């Protein structure tokens, strides 16, 4: 039922019925329509602000997928970095120790990484720019480390191929055989000199042995000296260059059996025990020189001695206190 509206008339002091003409009705209709349109527009934009458009939803989904892919990439790069770090550690602490070779420096493994930040500055303004830059830096660093380690492994492979030659260059046997009448008479270090009558450095070891006892090369090499009565009172002696920084010296021989320039093999006869030069009895004075420095020969007698025999030799070396030359 349609409601009837009344309005108070102050002139007649009575209520009168409100009658709307067509203009009033048109105005009311227009206001209603405008208000409805305004509310509809406000509702539409409010809904747009709350709910994403299909394009926005697709972009957000793509962004989430990209971030997930970068997270997976970061995890894989971290795992690979752990693997290469383990290879680097074994290279430094195991392989290089075995081959007595210097490992690659930390600077070479990280060379070129410091300037990478400037190279990737242009991508910072791109969508996901920070993710792209961080991942690119990590991948470049890993690539540099892999490249350096690859070269290091190539070098190790080359060392392995030369390892056999190195093993044959090590003076790894005694120069005289263990037989009756032969014994270890003086060790490396400070000893009382029987001729000079004072303590002085004995830069090798002495093997007392009967005259004409055979003397053998302790490693492969080239004879570089067989001079008669050489310096330091060595008498007849033979010096052999083995390569890789190793030389050996055999002194006080009765006679030599090789000429200068000859290639010899480990265990090959090179001379005979005597007492030429500054010597008090028949014996062999034997020295090992590594990179120009005389070292203790006893540290190299591992090829023809059992652990027990080597231990006995060490005890004997500690008990001797006078050289024979």
* Residue 56 CA: distances (Å) to CA of 47, 127, 129, 130, 320: 14, 14, 19, 21, 91
Q: What is the largest CA-CA distance in the chain?
A: 163
In this prediction, residue 139 carries a pLDDT of 78
Average pLDDT over residues 198-202: 76
Distant-in-sequence, close-in-space partners of 302: CB < 8 Å, separation ≥ 6: 172, 310
Q: What is the mean pLDDT of residues 174-191?
A: 86
What percent of the chain stands above pLDDT 90?
A: 24
Long-range contacts of 191-200 (CB under 8 A, 24+ apart): 191/320, 191/321, 191/322, 191/323, 192/321, 192/322, 192/323, 193/323, 193/325, 194/280, 194/322, 194/323, 194/324, 194/325, 195/278, 195/280, 195/325
How confident is the model over 125-135, as a mean pLDDT? 68
The pairing of strands 283-290 and 293-295 is antiparallel
Helix (H) or strand (E) holding 251: strand 246-256
**Residue range 298-308: mean pLDDT, rounded:** 76
- Residue 8, SS3 per DSSP: strand
Alpha helices per DSSP H over 51-128? 54-90, 96-98, 106-110, 116-119
Mean pLDDT value across the chain: 77
The structure tokens listed for 40 are 């509809």
226 φ, ψ (degrees, to nearest 5): -140, 40
pLDDT, residue 229, reads 43
Q: What is the pLDDT of residue 23?
A: 65
**Distances 315 to 37, 143, 184, 319 between C-alpha atoms, Å:** 110, 53, 11, 7
* Closest of 279, 259, 258 to residue 211, by C-alpha: 279
Kindly tell me the burial class for residue 161, based on how many C-beta atoms sit within 10 Å of its own C-beta (0-12, 13-18, 19 or more): exposed
How far, in Å, CA of 217 to CA of 19, rounded?
138
Measured distance CA(112)–CA(110) in Å, rounded? 6
- 3-class DSSP state of 22: helix
Per-residue pLDDT at 106 exceeds 60: yes
Question: For residue 287, what pLDDT is reported?
Answer: 94
Determine the average pLDDT of the residues in 188-198.
70
pTM above 0.85, yes or no: no
| HSE (side-chain half, CA atoms, 13 Å) at 42 | 6
Q: Which has more confidence, 291 or 120?
A: 291
- Residue partners of 150: CB distance under 8 A and separation at least 6: none
Is pLDDT larger for residue 289 or for residue 85?
289
For 19-29, b/e burial (b = at least 16 CB within 10 A) is eeeeeeeeeee
Please give the pLDDT value at position 199.
72
Q: What is the mean pLDDT of residues 87-100?
A: 69
């Amino acid at each position: 039922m349609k409601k009837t509206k009344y309005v108070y008339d102050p002139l007649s002091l009575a209520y009168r019925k409100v009658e709307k003409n067509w203009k009033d009705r048109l105005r009311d209709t227009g206001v209603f329509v405008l208000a409805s349109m305004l509310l509809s527009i406000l509702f539409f934009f409010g809904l747009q602000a709350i709910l994403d458009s299909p394009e926005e939803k697709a972009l957000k989904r793509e962004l989430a997928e990209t971030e997930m892919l970068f997270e997976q990439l970061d995890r894989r790069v971290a795992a690979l970095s752990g693997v290469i770090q383990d290879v680097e550690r074994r290279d430094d602490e195991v392989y290089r120790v075995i081959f007595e070779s210097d490992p690659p420096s930390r600077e070479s493994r990280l060379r070129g990484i410091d300037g990478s930040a400037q190279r990737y500055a242009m991508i910072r303004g791109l969508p996901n720019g920070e993710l792209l830059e961080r991942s690119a830096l990590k991948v470049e660093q890993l690539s540099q480390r892999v490249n350096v380690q690859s070269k290091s492994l190539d070098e190790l492979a080359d060392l392995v191929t030369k390892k056999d030659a190195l093993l044959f260059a090590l003076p790894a046997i005694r120069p005289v055989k263990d037989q009756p009448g032969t014994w270890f008479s003086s060790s490396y270090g400070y000893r009382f000199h029987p001729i000079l009558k004072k303590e002085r450095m004995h830069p090798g070891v002495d093997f007392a042995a009967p005259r004409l006892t055979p003397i053998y090369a302790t490693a492969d090499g080239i004879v570089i000296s067989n001079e008669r009565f050489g310096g330091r009172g060595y008498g007849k002696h033979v010096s052999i260059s083995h390569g890789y920084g190793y030389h050996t010296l055999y002194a006080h021989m009765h006679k030599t059996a090789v000429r200068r320039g000859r290639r010899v093999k480990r265990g090959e006869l090179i001379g005979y025990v005597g007492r030429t030069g500054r010597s008090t009895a028949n014996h062999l004075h034997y020295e090992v020189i590594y990179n120009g420095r005389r070292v203790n020969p006893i540290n190299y007698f591992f090829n023809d001695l059992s652990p027990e025999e080597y231990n006995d030799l060490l005890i004997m070396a500690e008990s001797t206190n006078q050289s024979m030359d």
